[in-house]
Amino acid sequence: MRQKDLEFKVGDKVFLKVALMKVYDVFHVSMLRNYVSNPSHVVDYEPLEIDENLSYVEQPVEIFAREVRTLRNRRIPLVKVLSRNYKVEEATWEREDDMRAHYPELFEEIVK
């Protein structure tokens, strides 16, 4: 049985199949499913901008835990980061220095 080639045009609405996996910043086109608009559908989503290489930039929105791990006598500060479009249980541990360099706004003190 031969599978039909997938074809999408700029502006097409699609679903990205992500069941039981973390959404990586690059994925195979076979994970896309065509979406036909229907007024009766109630879909809660945030648009995701995908570039021509089928990749996107994850946007971290919150740091909610800190930890220091020791590896070969080196102390490595880590932060647990929640990214947009992810559930809390999908948050990832990242190096604090990398996150500070790329997303300093996440570390700003809230002034009231």
User: pLDDT per position in the chain (112 positions), as tens?
Assistant: 566 677 888 888 887 766 545 566 677 777 788 887 788 877 666 666 777 777 777 788 889 899 999 988 999 999 999 888 778 888 889 999 999 999 999 888 644 4
- Residues 66 and 31 placed together within one structural domain of the fold: no
What is the model's pLDDT at position 110?
A: 44
What is the model's pLDDT at position 35?
A: 81
Helix, strand, coil proportions of the chain in percent (round to 5)? Answer: 15, 30, 55
Q: Is the pTM of this model over 0.75?
A: no
What is the model's pLDDT at position 45?
A: 65
Domain count, the chain: 2
Tell me the DSSP string of 59-72: -EEEEEEEEEEEET
- Residues 68 and 93 placed together within one structural domain of the fold: yes
30 in a structural domain: yes
What range does the domain containing 22 cover?
Answer: 1-57
- Rounded Cα gap, residues 14 and 48, in angstroms: 10
